[in-house]
Homo-oligomer: A and B are copies of this chain.
Amino acid sequence: MGAAAEQAAEEREEWGGVTPDAARRLVSAAVEAFAERGYHATTTRDIAGRAGMSPAALYIHYKTKEELLYRISGIGHEKALRIMGAAAEAEGSAGERLRDAVRTFARWHAEHHTTARVIQYELQALSPEHYTEIADLRRRTDRLLRQIIQDGADSGEFRADDVPGTTLAVLSLCVDVARWFSSDGPRTPDEVGALYADLVLRMVGAPAGGPGGAATGKSG
């Protein structure tokens, strides 16, 4: 399989729910362009061009440029919420769940850093109604993580004086991966996830992290 076909396969997985094919190609092109230049600096002509169509074709599948952003933001935030939910609902100690949450959440922000960049840094370009809807997904993600940290604090497993503040910091740390991560950089998404999980567990005073813990892994 060639590189182009491979990328197309990846896109089909990430945007699998979007049909028909032309609509999916447009979403994919828009994510690329928005991540690269920002929403406002991206023209509908650019998006259509990347998708191999004329500018007018965009409006057959989406009413406005903002609707494209909304679709991307919705799918991305739902994916992020599902990732956090899977970690939160898993069995295990608070430490194990927190490790899993940070590892998978940070890794997703690295692996899908173009999508993540768009959904995290272009929120203000959404219409007020769409923003309200997306904000709800974000609150739910925050609540899931906060509950994990609260559980650890309640049981004495974590040392977290300010649970909302710690939650905010952990979420902020993971989200900001989308800003600095580059596929050309020295770190793989897996490595970022592992590093961040270790750092966060230490932040809450649970350095050993139970089974699978490797906070001081490489060299001690």
- Seen from chain A, the residues whose Cβ lies within 8 Å of a Cβ on chain B are 37-38, 40-41, 121, 124-125, 159, 161-162, 165-166, 168-169, 172-173, 175-177, 179-180, 187, 195-196, 199, 202-205, 207, 216-220
Q: Can you give 14 contacting A-B residue pairs, CB < 8 Å?
A: A37-B124, A41-B125, A121-B121, A161-B216, A161-B218, A161-B219, A161-B220, A169-B195, A169-B196, A172-B179, A173-B173, A202-B204, A203-B203, A205-B207
Please report whether the interface of chain A is mostly helix, strand, loop or mixed according to DSSP. Answer: helix
A159 to chain B, nearest CB (A): 6
- B residues near A40, Cβ cutoff 8 Å: 38, 40-41
Starting from the known contacts A38-B38, A202-B205, 12 additional A-B residue pairs (CB-CB under 8 Å) come to: A38-B125, A40-B40, A40-B41, A41-B125, A161-B217, A168-B180, A169-B199, A172-B176, A172-B177, A175-B176, A176-B176, A199-B203
- B residues near A195, Cβ cutoff 8 Å: 162, 165, 169
**Cα separation A202 to B180 with both chains bound (whole Å):** 23
- B residues near A169, Cβ cutoff 8 Å: 173, 195-196, 199
- B residues near A38, Cβ cutoff 8 Å: 38, 40, 124-125
